[in-house]
Amino acid sequence: MGYRVMSEEEAERRYQTLLQELRRSYPRFRLRSKQNHPLQRAIHRALQLLTLGKMRTYLSEYQTTLGQTVWVTADWDAQPALQRWVTLRHEAVHLAQFRRLGMVGIALLYLLVPLPVGLAWFRMRLEREAYEETLRALAEALGVEALREPGLRSSIIRQFTGPAYGWMWPFPRAVARWYDRFVASLSGQGGCSSEPDSIR
């Protein structure tokens, strides 16, 4: 109710600018469709097995960065520019993580430490860094107050505590504390919620 919403034109402009930045920073950067790709289908099946069928939307609802490739769902180009821009901000954090930790480092830490399912501290930390960027982008687009909307708050908390990432951090109160503190830190920065152009 009453949120300022960034226009689709502005969101599209920012999306294109971000794409250019990523292409400059990562020479092998590319967006590829998950659909009909053997490796992506194999990951999908593995996730279904690992989560006993609870995670079924890997191919249809989640964008995934591996190395310098961002694997996107079949409907990516049809998504609103705002959604593509916010998601790409999240994936840009993962691109930087791959550069920082390497493919093997990420594979080991993200998938296995300390457990592949149910308690995955490194995955939680890596996703937390990326979701903070999601929240930053949403605050720029909608104003920081939008982040206090209970539906958004609980859906992000659920990403950590539910099957989407294999119950990586099943402690709702701890995740909620992180969320609320991070949103408060964004509010404290003043100006970012009312002047999106001052951010970049």
- Whole-angstrom CA distances from 157 to 128, 136, 143, 165, 173 are 10, 16, 19, 11, 9
Is there binding between residue 22 and Zn ion (CB under 5 A)? no
The verdict on 72 binding Zn ion (CB under 5 A) reads no
Count the residues of the shown chain that bind Zn ion, applying the rule CB under 5 A.
2
Pick one of 6, 124, 130, 146: the residue that binds Zn ion (CB under 5 A). 130
Q: Minimum CB separation from Zn ion for residue 74, in Å?
A: 19
Alpha helices for the chain (secondary structure H): 8-25, 38-50, 58-61, 81-112, 121-142, 150-161, 172-188
Query: In the bound complex, what is the minimum distance in angstroms from residue 165's beta carbon to Zn ion?
Result: 8
**Residue (29 or 193) nearer to Zn ion, CB:** 29
CA distance 137 to 115: 30
Asked if 65 contacts 71 with a C-beta cutoff of 8 angstroms, the reply is yes
CB of 153 to Zn ion, least distance (A): 17
Looking at beta carbons only, is 89 or 193 nearer to Zn ion? 89
Phi-psi region of 84 (alpha: psi -120 to 50; beta: other; left: phi over 0): alpha
DSSP H or E run through 37? none
Query: In this structure, what DSSP letter does residue 51 have?
Result: T
By CB under 5 A, is residue 144 in contact with Zn ion?
Answer: no
Q: How far apart are CA 184 and CA 199, in angstroms?
A: 17
Tell me how far, at minimum, the Cβ of 159 lies from Zn ion, in Å: 8
* Residue number closest to Zn ion, CB atom: 130
Smaller CB separation from Zn ion, 127 or 132: 127
We find the least distance from the C-beta atom of residue 94 to Zn ion, in angstroms, to be 6
- Which residues of this protein are in contact with Zn ion, per CB under 5 A? 127, 130
